[in-house]
A and B are shown apart, each in its own frame.
Chain A
Amino acid sequence: DGGITQSPKYLFRKEGQNVTLSCEQNLNHDAMYWYRQDPGQGLRLIYYSQIVNDFQKGDIAEGYSVSREKKESFPLTVTSAQKNPTAFYLCATDAGTGGSKQYFGPGTRLTVT
C-alpha cells in the first residue's frame, strides 16, 4: 500500500512536554514538508527537506525541530518552546524536481492542555 502515513491521528500532551509527530512515505520522493493548519486557515510551512540530512526552515519554524536521517522519514518535534502548539499538522511529499505535485498525508491533530 503506497503513500504517506502519519501517526498517530490524534495526540494529546500536557503543556511543557516535547512531542514527536511521525511522517513516513514509500513514494520514493526526495522532498518532504511539514505544515501547520489552524481552524479556518490555510496551511503554513514549518520545515522542509529536499534531500536526506538537509532541511530548511519554513515560515513558522520557531518552537519546532526536524531531522531527515532517512529518505522515507521526516519526524517533527513540537518543543515546549512552541507557544500555541494545538493544531492540525500535515506532512507532504513531492518528487523534488521543481514544479512537482505535492501530496499530503492524513494529518495528526495535536492537542496540548
Chain B
Amino acid sequence: GQQLNQSPQSMFIQEGEDVSMNCTSSSIFNTWLWYKQDPGEGPVLLIALYKAGELTSNGRLTAQFGITRKDSFLNISASIPSDVGIYFCAGQFGEKLTFGTGTRLTIIP
C-alpha cells in the first residue's frame, strides 16, 4: 500500500521554537488529517482539513490543505515540552486513510 512522504523524519528543537512539517503524495486526497502519538498510546486527532487551500488552526497548531490536493503542512508555534511525540499526516480518498511515516519531535532542554 502507498505511504505518504512525510518530512522531516525527526526534529530536535528548543522550547519556544516554531516547528514546521509537511506531507506530500503522488495521489490527490479529499481529506487531510494530522495526528499526534505519544509512546505506547494511540494517535490523537489534532486537525482535519476538507478543502483544497483550507487553513485551519487548533490553538498553537495550524495546518493547511495544499492547493494541488497532494500535500499538507502542519505548523506548531512556540513549542512546549508536551509537544514531544510523533506527528502523522493521513490522506483520505474513499474509505481508507493513507498514513505518512511520521515526524518525531524532540525538545532539547
A residues near B (Cβ < 8 Å) are 4, 6, 31, 33, 40-45, 48, 50, 56, 58-60, 88, 90, 92, 98-99, 101-107, 109
Q: Quote the shortest CB–CB distance from B94 to chain A (angstroms).
A: 7
- Tell me if B31 is interfacial: C-beta within 8 Å of chain A: yes
Stretch at the interface among B14-22, B54-62, B68-76, B98-106: B98-106
CB <8 Å contact, B99 and A43: yes
CB <8 Å contact, B40 and A107: yes
CB <8 Å contact, A98 and B48: no
CB <8 Å contact, A104 and B1: no
- Tell me if B90 is interfacial: C-beta within 8 Å of chain A: yes
10 closest Cβ contacts across the A-B interface? A59-B1, A104-B42, A42-B99, A43-B99, A42-B101, A99-B31, A107-B42, A104-B43, A106-B42, A101-B48
A56 to B94, CA, bound (A): 13
- Tell me if B67 is interfacial: C-beta within 8 Å of chain A: no
Of B41, B48, B96, which one neighbours A107 at CB under 8 angstroms? B41
A48 to B42, CA, bound (A): 17
CB <8 Å contact, B1 and A102: no
A43 to B6, CA, bound (A): 13
CB <8 Å contact, B90 and A102: yes
Do most interface residues of chain A lie in helix, strand or loop, or is the interface mixed? strand
CB <8 Å contact, B41 and A50: no
Chain A contacts of B42 at CB under 8 A? 4, 6, 90, 92, 104-107
Chain A contacts of B48 at CB under 8 A? 101
Q: Quote the shortest CB–CB distance from B88 to chain A (angstroms).
A: 6
- Tell me if B33 is interfacial: C-beta within 8 Å of chain A: yes
Q: Quote the shortest CB–CB distance from A31 to chain B (angstroms).
A: 7
**Nearest chain B residue, comparing its CB with the CB of A102:** B97
Q: List 29 A-B contacts (CB under 8 A).
A: A33-B97, A42-B3, A42-B6, A42-B99, A43-B88, A43-B99, A44-B1, A45-B96, A45-B97, A48-B95, A56-B95, A58-B96, A59-B1, A60-B1, A90-B43, A98-B30, A98-B95, A99-B30, A99-B31, A102-B45, A102-B90, A103-B45, A104-B42, A104-B44, A104-B45, A106-B41, A106-B42, A107-B40, A107-B42
